[in-house]
Chains A and B, each alone.
Chain A
């Protein structure tokens, strides 16, 4: 079974500051993918960034980077230079390679980020 844990139900960050959203995972799959999604108040789920378990380098996408520490089973999302539009719910998710786990994303409970002036 796979499990994603997001221990921060809510976070505040000032505009233009960087913020780290925590994510730890547990899986028995030898290979897996880690994803972050953003859900604004409008409800849609927006893909942000992907990290493969065998990728040597941490993934980056614009202002988003993923701090992947495989030994610690953590995949924290770092948002640099926060903007007001970053205020949203953020979900960490994973997929494994096995038949039972490759079919679905397993999500954490999410972290609500509020960017303040």
Chain B
């Protein structure tokens, strides 16, 4: 158990819908990262927050947004869902956003868009 929690574990929804994925980082970690794992794209970095502020953006679609709250938990919002958004979404956390800090991953949310 990495100490990072993600809810829900599984999510099935329809095209055009909106969903929210939730992540709680490990105790003491200030930095939260979101990744998407799909069969065709592999593991891709989406976005990073550090102590409540957006720090970096990766290959995140405009239909997706995220935030980190004062208690450091984070939410990833996916809207106008398409079939291609079906993937495993990971949240990871680390103490600080430096090269040597290990990112610990949550169990992931498996999203299926029908």
Contacts and interface: CB of A to CB of B under 8 A. Distances in A.
A74 interface: no
Interface residues of B, number: 26
Interface in B43-84: 43, 45, 48, 55-56, 58
A93 B45 CA distance: 12
Contacts of A50: 100, 102
Interface string B75-98: 000000000000010101000011
Given A45-B105, A103-B55, A52 B42 contact: no
Contacts, number: 68
A111 B36 CA distance: 18
Contact of B99 (A47, A96, A107): A96
B108 interface: yes
A47 B90 contact: no
A103 B102 contact: no
Interface string A92-117: 01011101111111110110000000
Interface residues of A, number: 29
A97 B97 CA distance: 9
5 contacts: A45-B90, A101-B99, A103-B56, A107-B43, A110-B42
Interface of B: 2, 33, 35, 42-43, 45, 48, 55-56, 58, 88, 90, 92, 97-108, 110
Interface of A: 29, 31-33, 35, 37, 43-47, 50, 52, 91, 93, 95-97, 99-107, 109-110
